[in-house]
Structure 1
Amino acid sequence: MQFKQSLKERANYIEALLNRYMPKEEGYQKTIMESMNYSLRAGGKRLRPILTLEACKVVGGNEEDVIPFAVAIEMIHTYSLIHDDLPALDNDELRRGRKTNHIVYGEDMAILAGDALLNYAFEIMLSNSVEKENPKKYLKAINEIAKSSGIHGMIGGQVVDVQSENKQIPKEKLDYIHNNKTAAIIIGCMRAGAIIGDASEENLDKITKYAKNIGLSFQIVDDILDIVGDEAKLGKKVGSDIDNHKSTYPSLLGLEESKIIAHKLIEEAKDSIKDIGTSSEFLIGLADYIIDREY
């Protein structure tokens, strides 16, 4: 309970930051800003911006320096969800307990809202980096996020995911999908936070291992919840993986084996950061939270 309260407080903090950076709904382009804000205000766990801040703090960095990056990473994540929900991809009607963006604003505005959030995210990061005394590390952090969300990361994983529907794929290919579609952006945001926090190469490697393990475990748990989860608690439709004929850990290895693998990844994640910089208590608690989400 204590960790969940701490997580809630951090999520509320992210909400306040998002409100500070959200575009004003005005001008001829007011509709697109309403569409952007509709999905940004839909709530969620806010794990990626929280992880961005925590990665900076755990290596002894200044949280204030990384706030624009935390906000931007949530915008990038939200854009990916808007596009994932479109009829051409997952064709979902519910996200975070609300109607999906294209159901409310139409497919045209949903596509443009996703595009706008992605572009706005980089605008925020760059405008808060170029005037810094040491812009190089901030540009390195932006590069981490760009790579992890692009064709060699999230988008690359999404492409293979789409192309693998209605096909039996080997575990190696499924790992590629999960490590890129889900884990890559978690790795990217944590590496960005750690870089801005002036992490040593040793600590950056530890952060990277932690992020990769919790990212893959997070997706495996999502695969499990899509079969046995409570739709009311999850805030989205369950069974979509089966409906869309997607290969998942449970479909390839079974539920029990999937749970065993997810637990092993979490233990390795916790072990990788147990002696890093300042207190890693929150990140260890977050790893446990990921695996203990309700099945």
Structure 2
Amino acid sequence: MGVRALGLPEATRSPESPELPERVTIWEVGLRDGLQNESGVIPSGVKLEFLNRLNAAGLPVIETTSFVHPDWVPQLADAAEVVNGLSPKPGVRYPVLVPNQRGLDRAREAGVADIAIFASATESFAQRNLNRSFENQFEMFRPVVRGALASGMRVRGYLSMVFGDPWQGAVPVEQVVSAGKRLLEMGCDQLSLGDTIGVATPGQVEGVLRGFRAADVPTDRLAVHFHDTYGQALANTYAALRLGVSTVDASAGGLGGCPYAGSATGNLATEDLVWMLSGLGIEHGVDLEMLVDTSTWMAERLGKPSPSPVVKALAR
């Protein structure tokens, strides 16, 4: 019997873990965070087919692209074309990343309803990723958030280097919480905590989340974004779920990394996350078989296999 024929794991909700959420929202980032790290430029038609397949698989949020200057990320130079070619599915959100005011203007022109901004918890990464100091990044983002809210957009805040920075090392929890609160107070409706180089461990995750709890930040305003550099992404996700987090970022097939942090490998694979959630009896609304087929299809277009263990196990 093939592995695929075994089907999904039997759903089991442990009575010892009543704190686990009943449903998790998967924030799919493969189309943006995944493809921006590819060495070559992916044709717009392939991106749109990828998007359509993700739609069909039932992902509730699909981060579509970034309105970043093409000199920074040439892989996303076709952002407007991708957004304009989108066939939206009712009830699904299609946020885009905007780095600055010009990015917001382009998002407005494209009729986007959801944007995200990308800030840093550390000075070194703010300088390298944004060409701004830690303090100046907030001044750059404040009018962007204000303008987006005035246009009726929802705004998500990404906070990178939450669990470690390759240039500065460990990042104090107090520094992370302070930076995160500033983004929320600015008007972001959700804060995604990023393990940009994949060094986090479950104990660190618990420490950061408890830090936000102590600072009176509701857990339902937090999301997590893990990379699997040290194979800890699922364990870290489980730690976050136990503390009430119910939005998890993931990338179909484990695509992606961070183009500005050389040690970062792929994101948590959406298929691996779905397999775990199904086994825990947590609702997610995603068709795993369709998603595996999608990631297998995309891997063929990229000319390399998916790093996801679940994709490898279930692929036809």
TM-score range, shorter chain: 0.3 to 0.5
Q: Which has the higher helix share?
A: 1
Q: Which has the higher strand share?
A: 2
TM-score, normalised by the number of residues in structure 1: 0.34
TM-score, normalised by the number of residues in structure 2: 0.32
